[in-house]
Amino acid sequence: MQGFGEIQANAGERLVLALERGGVDVLHRCGGAARCTTCRVSFQEGEPDAMTAAEFDKLTEKGLLGQARLSCQIECAPGMSVTPLQTASSSGLEPGKAPAEQIEPDPVWTTRPGASTEG
């Protein structure tokens, strides 16, 4: 992880929770429900091809599609390398309520634009 070191995450764990557990003060104003973009990250490696419809819609609405991902909408997988784009300390804002263990709202999966869909 850029600037924060390596974090060991469990497969399927929400990225936002893994970041917090690893000591990153990732910002999540809406409580991890894809209603804002404060938990956004950029990927250096291992960006998942899957994306929730909620993430797609929010990134599109904010003009961030293809530039960032929402850590509250991503399940951890081996080989991910990310940089948090907003933290509580860098923004001066307080995080919202703690995100749930499972992705909210119930994920409807799609493929992110630019993903390789070839088998």
Flag whether 44 is in a domain. yes
Q: Region 76-100: what's the mean pLDDT?
A: 94
Say whether pLDDT at 117 is over 70: no
CA 119 to CA 103: how far, in whole Å? 26
Flag whether 58 is in a domain. yes
CATH number of the domain within which 42 lies: 3.10.20.30
Residues 6+ apart with CB under 8 A from 110: 50, 51, 52, 53, 56
What integer best gives the mean pLDDT of the chain? 93
State the DSSP H helix or E strand holding residue 83, giving kind and residue range, or none if neither. Answer: strand 81-84
Tokens 């910002």 sit at which residue? Answer: 27
Q: What string of DSSP letters covers 20-82?
A: HHTT--B--TTSSSSSSSTTEEEEEE---SEEEHHHHHHHHHTT-TTT-EEGGG-B--TT-EE
Tokens 């917090």 sit at which residue? Answer: 20
Count of domains in the chain?
Answer: 1
Q: What is the pLDDT of residues 39-76, one digit of tens each?
A: 999 999 999 999 999 999 999 999 999 999 999 999 99
- pTM for this predicted structure: 0.93
Which residue segment(s) compose the domain that 53 sits in? 13-91+103-109
